Structure 1
Amino acid sequence: MCTSHDHDPGEASRAGAGRRGFLRATALLGATAAAAGALPAGDAEAAAPHRRPDPDSRRFTLAVMPDTQYLFDGPSIDSAPVEASLRYLLEHGEEENIVFLSHLGDLTQNGAREEFAAIGEAFRLLDRRGVGYSVLAGNHDVRASTTDQRGATPYLDAFGPRRFEGRRTFGGASPDGYNTFHRFTAGGREWLVLALDWRLSPQGHVWAKDVLARHPRTPVILTTHELVAGDDTLSDYGQQLWDRLIEDHDQIFLTLNGHYWPAARAVRENAAGHDVHLHLTNYQNRYFGGAAMIRLYRFDLDRNVIDVETVSPWVLGRAAQGLNELERQETELSGDADRFSVEIDFEERFSGFAPVPARPARPVPTMLVPGTVAYWRFEKPAGDTVRDLSGRGNDLSLVTVGGGTLGWSADHHPDQPGHGSLEFRGFKSPLKGAYLRTVDGAPLNRATFRDGYTIEAFYRLPADWDPAHHAWSGLVSRTGTGGAAGKTADDPDEPLATLSLSDDREPQWAMRPLNQQGIATNWGQETPLETWWHLAVVNDGRHTTLYVEGCPVVRNPRASAAGITSAGLPWLLGGYEYGGRIDQILHGRLGDVRIVARALPVTSFMNH
């Protein structure tokens, strides 16, 4: 939800991308020093304190590190690239809100004790800071012909459950120790990483299903070494894993694996009819064995997207020393398989196992904020009269045109106080429909709101809304023309005030203030069909601001506008007059409408 002080998320995203590019170009926060050996590990960590991720931010990053085996191959051991990537996570943890790291297996080439000792020591950079991460065994880390029932190995000695005990993100391990699950909190909810061995045994499958059953409302990212083998292709074992585990567990929405190259993606529809995104990430075939490249999965729950980027902090950190020709190709991969976005409607995707509870209706008294002069809600079909719940006597009466009718629906904006809406069925030519008008003598008819006002309404336009027949209908409007009120500038036949919808479905507040002859206009952006919207027009006695879903629109005039000119005539809901006669009737649903005789802050709007 926007507030009047919120910034544009797109602007923030662009600014963040610019900052990241600048930092990389200038050697990445100490990664150069680490690569060159200029700072001991302890000093480098102390230079940039790690802070815990923000569990409530709706933007967070999951980091992924694939096969590092060529960096830990017998006598050829080089920990610097892995350490550079891990320091990147520490040093960028707050800026990127990095919540977790998943290694995808093949940590080593031969599974030897000395190889695990070296990479195990590198990962102590994260251990010492309490950063959450998972690892799993690939075919090079263990005997490839075995399953997770293989028993003791150097892998288990280095990265078994004992390493993670007591860590806040560690959930548990299978009895054999080769499968683990981890939990982190981000976007105000819990997420689970299921890290599975290179080859699951029947016991491993039972354990994995039990973990899922014990966390039935938690979205799951499954990591393993082998699954996707190429674009839209699963390996034989990957297909088995899909058939036996992934397809029937709707919680699994994303899988990550290494083993094969080049990087690739696949999408499969699970048994619940939802897409599962399956990603292969592996760069061991590239310069310096992949140089411990990392994938950054940047979740944005408000934009319903995961932006994916692939970078090599070690190569970027060497920029100050001058990169060789091959290194210059590896700083940041930009191919379609390495830098892309995944669009996911998270609420809809998770609705099968973790539906967002519907917001309950709110009692009428809680909506009668000080200054409320009219409040209408439609929780049952309208008769000939709709009562003003503010108690101010601004009741509405039904008016029909051309035999038109007014329907009712339980449909409503998810944040609407009242659970119901009126269904207007207007048509332009010949004019037909029904609308509501305040009764004669209603106090609202005379009100001029000299000290300010807030007018709010919820609306939804149907799929068959046609600008040729339905444009310029009013949600809330005031009758009486400018000419009749002595306001003859602009078009004197226009009504004194109207909150209408243009032929492009743009909300428009057009009215004649007390302090000027002409029409003052606020414009919103196009609002898509079959979607509920909340509008608010706020005037503080000097200026008027139009809000869509609590966000101020760009076309809010700076000119002074005080009050609303009145001719003492009724207000309309769903109707629009031109030249003193009904000219258009709304085609769509109208939810709660409230008018307050003062400027309200965004936090007091009905959708809060």
Structure 2
Amino acid sequence: MSRRSVLRAVGAGAAAPLLAGASSRASSAASDSWTIVALPDTQYYANNERRYRFAVDQTDWIAENADAENIAFVSHEGDVVHEGDQTEQWDRMDDAMATLDGVVPYSTLPGNHDYADTRNRSSGLDNYVDYFGASRFDGYDWFGGTGPSDEEANSYQLFSAGGYDFLHLALEWEPRDETLEWARDVLDRFPERPAVLTTHAYLTDGDREGGDESNPGRARFIEEENGDGNSGEQVWRRLVAPNSQVFMVLSGHFHENLNQDADPQTSGEYHQVSENDAGEDVYEMLANYQKRDGSGFSLLRRISFEPGSGDPDRISVSTYNTYKDEYETDDNSEFAFDLDFDERFAQESSTDPTERFSFEQGADGYEGTSDTNLREANPQTGYGDASTVTVDTKEPQDSDNRAQALVRFDGVIGDGDGQVPPNATVNSATLTVETVDEGSGGAVHRLLREWSESDTWESFGGGVSADGSDATADPEAKAEAVSEGPTEIDVTASVREWVGGEPNHGWAILPLGDDGWDFSTAEGDAPPQLTVTFEPGDGGDDDSEDGTGDGSDGGDGTGDGGDGGDEPNEPLPGDADGDGDVDDADVDLAQRHVANEDVDIDREAADMDDDGEIDITDVVEIVDETGGR
């Protein structure tokens, strides 16, 4: 690794900016750019003979401009029709979408209105499968297949553009657990392809309960009448965030902005940039114009990929009305993201040793979460079946009674499939809880004693004491002034203790103030989740050459069989990972530390200039120690 590559890698950690109002129209015609078109909900075109022409206008424009715009893919965001049991509506959309057959790769997916009975998954997708199932696409080499198993609600496609090979996932409305598992399998089959994911209901444009627009973002609720599915937030946590291949998510369905008495002509748009578990940007976009005049007429999204047009490259998004031949130019309709295509679209080799496991009640068969509330006001009452817990110094209000929460994930450490091995190097661990009522937050203490969901305030002898007996005296993390939505807590220190042999009793979350904090439990709609990123150990024995043996080599257990003195061995300068030599792995570890990643590093060895800090100067000196390869 050269000095130049080190400096470039460290500098690449800055997040890509989101550019409001940036236009793609001037540069999209460049020969090396390409376009993805997103077709929002067409349900009100399908159920009305007069409005049907807008759907025809959309697909005619795509077919006529496929070459000029270099359209690489078209993604329909669901709700193909308004009433899934009406074949007349399917006939209309069949004819409209047929314009794209043999012209450009495209996908459809079922929205809630595409089921025979809206919002009832069990009513079936017979008409959807007849018109837009696998048989429609089987003859195209870009069509990957459907799933899970022999179902046809979900599909994937493979396409190429700009010298890159892409994967597209088209997932059903509120994807089920088995659908997310299928999607993960597809991603694993194509690990070197950057992926775009489209699903019907993912991102919202406002607070569905009314009031102000304080709560746009990923959906945190399930609308399927039997609760059979995952919300947008759950799709993010279970599929998008842990899979760095996915760089973009497209969705429709929502127009919650109307609940705030907003101008109907502004509803159905929202976008945000989120950081996945690997620290990379994911571009999330909502487009749904069905509640606007003329049901949006024929508005669609043009997503233009423009090499060299930004810093250094750019994804420009514009909203185009094919019927009126005009663009919307407000900041929610025209915007852009700057990024480096080569860096973001180049997927890591599958030989990367880093692994990531998530533990969440009901996900992938995991059933090991325990949680409960200890309430001073009800000292003999157990709360193991409660759907939420409260953390507060005044519960109920106007009292001095405290409320504490206990959370534990069993089976995290072990040698079985899906467990973190005892000899692993833990890079990070995050506890994510769904805050349902904002408040002062809590201090997270590692518990030191056994407990069960039947425990009470009284059985703990007056609640948890953070004194080194019930729980650690010092909190391992704090969640302060929490807001509604996902709350992430760094619990890396705890998981490292468990990997090192300490028993896993979970955490006690103790109140930081008198504004009560409520979050969902394993029995609630959004169970707590523990995510651990780690590097598996080598499984070596205790008599290793690095000085951690048992002393059988004639020494005192410090490794070199020396005089048994009390002074520890001096670290090897530059040996940031403590493996006994200085190589590119040490350079990489130091780089990651400088980029503010949470890594396990020998600070003394990595601090080459002995100034008490590890910075880019130390990284360059470590490179020199390796010979500047």
Give the TM-score normalised by structure 2. 0.44
